[in-house]
């Protein structure tokens, strides 16, 4: 098996699949660093599903990023085939180089994770044994100064994880009306000063378009009362999170991707989800909980056939990173891990 990847320009309804080891853009120097979050815990949770004796197992990394989790899985499980998805062509190029030693059992695909069913169908896999979602923005995207994700650096307001398609944060900031901007900031950023920030944006963009991350961060800061700016870190972080989620349609994609991934799990298969804010974690919690309980009448002495739970939860609530991990990797500070196993068919 060779590396598979969608073409550099990705089309949602028509996939162009190529094989071979020389795909993609030329590798430049890796921008940023990459420390996989909760790596040892993820490996421990996935191991029972991926260790199946002489049987080849299939693991999906739905958010491949720079390939840190994927590389560790491939090293630990020499009979496991990886299907790695990412919407960012630059991340795929770096991951491809990193995973070159395992190229004979790797498929890399330029796709958003809600397209997993189509990807698996195209690759010929009906069931998979492991799935990992490491949600949110990647190290590459945060550390790249020209992507516009970081409020601490001046850059064009882009924020697209896939820069080959879709609207930018600049378009959102300069074209959305005040009610819609307020909704995005309040719902996706959980920003209590959303209306004030939206009003400031409307006023300032009437004078000149807002095109840089530094300018937007300045406007957000000026919109928030001074006492509120003294706590909670950079006052722009919630606005930037909200715009990133809106630009990339992250929550809508996750709401359809998780059920599809759970449907694809083989009996005994396992899913691990790393979330970084409450909205992601809420979607993960609901998706797992819905399948961890039966659907039949509660007053019956035995479960009716086909009404029992299909998942067994592997974590009690959401697991957090240890103090030691947060010290070594500050991006683990907000992580919430949830995991579940597909119940073996009786």
**37-79 tens-digit pLDDT:** 999 999 999 999 999 999 999 999 999 999 999 999 999 999 9
Q: What is the pLDDT of residue 298?
A: 55
Which of the four pLDDT bands, split at 50, 70 and 90, describes residue 332?
very high
| Residues with Cβ within 8 Å of residue 26, at least 6 apart in sequence | 93
**Cα gap 81→338, rounded to integer Å:** 23
> What proportions of the chain, in percent to the nearest 5, are helix, strand and coil?
45, 15, 40
Does residue 120 or residue 22 have the better pLDDT? 120
For the chain, give the percent of residues with pLDDT over 70.
Answer: 82
Q: Does the global pTM surpass 0.75? A: yes
Mean pLDDT of the chain: 86
Binding site listing for S-adenosyl-L-methionine? 67-69, 86, 113, 134, 141
**Does the pLDDT at position 24 exceed 70?**
no
Least trusted range by pLDDT, from 13-17, 125-129, 179-183, 313-317: 13-17
Domains of the chain: 5-140+250-342 (3.40.50.150), 165-248 (1.10.150.170)
Which of the four pLDDT bands, split at 50, 70 and 90, describes residue 153?
confident
User: Which tokens in the block code for residue 132?
Assistant: 């990992």
**Does the pLDDT at position 300 exceed 60?**
no
For residue 198, with 0-12 CB atoms within 10 Å meaning exposed, 13-18 middle and 19 or more buried, which class applies?
buried
Q: What is the pLDDT of residue 13?
A: 30
Q: What is the pLDDT of residue 16?
A: 31
Q: What is the pLDDT of residue 18?
A: 32
Does residue 81 or residue 227 have the better pLDDT? 81
**Does the pLDDT at position 247 exceed 50?**
yes
Give me the mean pLDDT over the 204-223 stretch: 95
Whether the CB-CB separation of 95 and 126 falls below 8 Å is answered with no
Q: In what helix (H) or strand (E) does residue 59 lie, and over which residues does it extend? A: strand 57-61
3-state secondary structure of 302: coil
Q: What is the pLDDT of residue 234?
A: 84
Listing from the earlier edge strand, what are the strands of the sheet with 57-61?
Answer: 106-110, 80-86, 57-61, 128-134, 265-275, 336-342, 311-313
Binding site listing? 67-69, 86, 113, 134, 141
Give me the mean pLDDT over the 305-333 stretch: 89
Q: What phi, psi does 203 have (nearest 5°)?
A: -65, -45
Which of the four pLDDT bands, split at 50, 70 and 90, describes residue 5?
very low
User: What are 77-86's pLDDT values in tens digits?
Assistant: 999 999 999 9
């Amino acid at each position: 098996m060779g590396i598979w990847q969608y073409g550099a320009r990705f089309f949602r309804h028509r996939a162009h699949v190529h094989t071979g080891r020389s795909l993609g853009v030329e590798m430049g120097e890796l921008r940023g660093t990459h420390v996989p979050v909760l790596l040892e815990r993820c490996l421990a949770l996935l191991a029972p599903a991926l260790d199946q004796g002489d049987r080849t197992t299939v693991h999906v990394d739905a958010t491949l990023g720079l390939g840190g989790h994927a590389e560790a899985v491939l090293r630990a499980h020499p009979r496991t085939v990886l299907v790695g998805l990412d919407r960012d062509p630059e991340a795929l190029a770096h991951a491809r180089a990193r995973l070159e030693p395992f190229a004979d059992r790797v498929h890399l695909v330029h796709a958003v994770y809600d397209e997993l069913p189509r990807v698996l169908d195209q690759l010929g896999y009906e069931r998979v044994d492991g799935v990992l979602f490491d949600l949110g923005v990647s190290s590459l995207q945060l550390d790249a100064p020209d992507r516009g994700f970081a409020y601490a650096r001046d850059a064009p307001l882009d924020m697209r994880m896939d820069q080959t398609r879709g609207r930018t944060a600049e378009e959102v900031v300069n074209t959305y009306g005040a009610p819609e901007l307020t909704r995005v900031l309040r719902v996706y950023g959980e920003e209590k000063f959303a209306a004030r920030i939206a009003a400031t944006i409307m006023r300032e963009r009437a004078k000149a378009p807002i095109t840089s991350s530094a300018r937007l961060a300045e406007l957000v800061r000026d919109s928030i009362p001074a006492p509120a700016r003294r706590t909670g870190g950079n006052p722009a972080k919630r606005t930037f999170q909200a715009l990133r989620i809106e630009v990339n349609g992250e929550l809508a994609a996750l709401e359809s991707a998780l059920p599809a991934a759970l449907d694809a799990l083989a009996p005994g298969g396992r899913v691990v989800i790393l979330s970084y804010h409450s909205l992601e974690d809420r979607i993960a919690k609901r998706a797992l909980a819905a399948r961890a309980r039966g659907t039949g009448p509660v007053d019956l002495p035995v479960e009716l056939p086909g009404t029992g739970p299909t998942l067994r939860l592997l974590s009690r609530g959401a697991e957090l990173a240890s103090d030691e991990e947060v010290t070594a990797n500050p991006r683990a500070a907000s992580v919430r891990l949830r995991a579940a196993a597909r119940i073996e068919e009786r």
